[in-house]
């Protein structure tokens, strides 16, 4: 049946200033992450946001912080897999306790933190991971590609953002579809 709003959450991994500056095709990645934020806000999906060692790598991009508004509640971590962080693990368990089992994953870097997090969450066995491929990025195209291939090898569906978006929207003409339309065009 696909994604449903009641069972889905969004995870944004490490969209930070110093990391972002080196990401290949970074503006397209940011545009797609923002599209997922609009989708999450439209459907009132919980949003988890991580920051890898913000003291050294900076905070989340200001334009993303502004869009997140009250949903900007970063989980600071030093582990590459978000699941290795106690605060993140508690938040994931809380969402699972609410009956959520679908997690849309985006962020940077695809072959490091995104890969390890998605792999570990899938191996935990309680989450269906939906990787928004064009809302992830790495410093090189090769690393991005390899990260996606590793995730596919783990059995994780790799989807473009629009596929994920329309899977959650289900049909046109709804208030949610009308709310998302300006962001899709």
Secondary structure of the chain in HEC code, one letter for each residue: CCCCHHHEEEEEECCEHHHHCCCCCHHHHHHHHHHHHHHHHHHCCCEEEEEECHHHHCCECHHHHHHHHHHCCCEEECCCCHHHCHHHHHHHHHHHHCCCCEEEEEEECHHHHHHHHHHHHHHHCCCEEEEEEEEEECCCHHHHHHHHHHHHHCCCCEECHHHHHHHHHCCCCCHHHHHHHHHHC
Which domain covers residue 139, as residue numbers? Answer: 5-184
In whole angstroms, what separates CA 87 from the centre of its chain?
17
**pTM score, two decimals?**
0.96
Quick check: 12 pLDDT over 80?
yes
- Of all residues in the chain, the percent with pLDDT exceeding 70 is 99
Q: How many domains does the chain have?
A: 1
Quick check: 35 pLDDT over 90?
yes
Average pLDDT over residues 18-32: 96
Quick check: 185 pLDDT over 80?
no
| Model pLDDT for residues 163-183, shown as the tens digit of each residue | 999 999 999 999 999 999 999
| Model pLDDT for residues 107-159, shown as the tens digit of each residue | 999 999 999 999 999 999 889 999 999 999 999 999 999 999 999 999 999 99
| Model pLDDT for residues 68-87, shown as the tens digit of each residue | 999 999 999 999 999 999 99
Work out the pLDDT band at 2, boundaries 50, 70, 90. Answer: confident
The CATH number that applies at residue 78 is 3.40.50.850
Answer left, alpha or beta for residue 170, where phi above 0 means left and psi between -120 and 50 means alpha: left
């Amino acid at each position: 049946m696909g994604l449903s709003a009641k069972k889905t959450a969004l995870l944004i991994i490490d969209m930070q200033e110093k990391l972002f500056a080196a990401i290949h095709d970074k503006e397209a990645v940011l545009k797609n992450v923002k599209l997922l934020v609009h989708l999450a806000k439209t459907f009132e999906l919980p949003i988890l946001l991580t920051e890898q060692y913000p003291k050294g790598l900076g905070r989340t991009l200001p334009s993303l912080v502004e869009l997140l508004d009250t949903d900007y509640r970063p989980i600071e971590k030093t582990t590459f897999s978000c699941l290795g962080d106690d605060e993140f693990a508690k938040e994931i368990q809380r969402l699972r306790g609410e009956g959520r089992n679908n997690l849309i994953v985006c962020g940077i870097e695809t072959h490091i933190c995104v890969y390890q997090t998605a792999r570990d969450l899938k191996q935990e066995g309680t989450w269906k991971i939906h990787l928004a491929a064009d809302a992830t990025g790495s410093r090189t195209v090769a690393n991005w590609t390899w990260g996606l291939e590793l995730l596919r090898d783990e059995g994780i569906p790799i989807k473009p953002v629009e596929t994920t978006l329309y899977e959650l929207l289900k049909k046109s003409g709804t208030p949610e579809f009308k709310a998302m339309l300006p962001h899709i065009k």
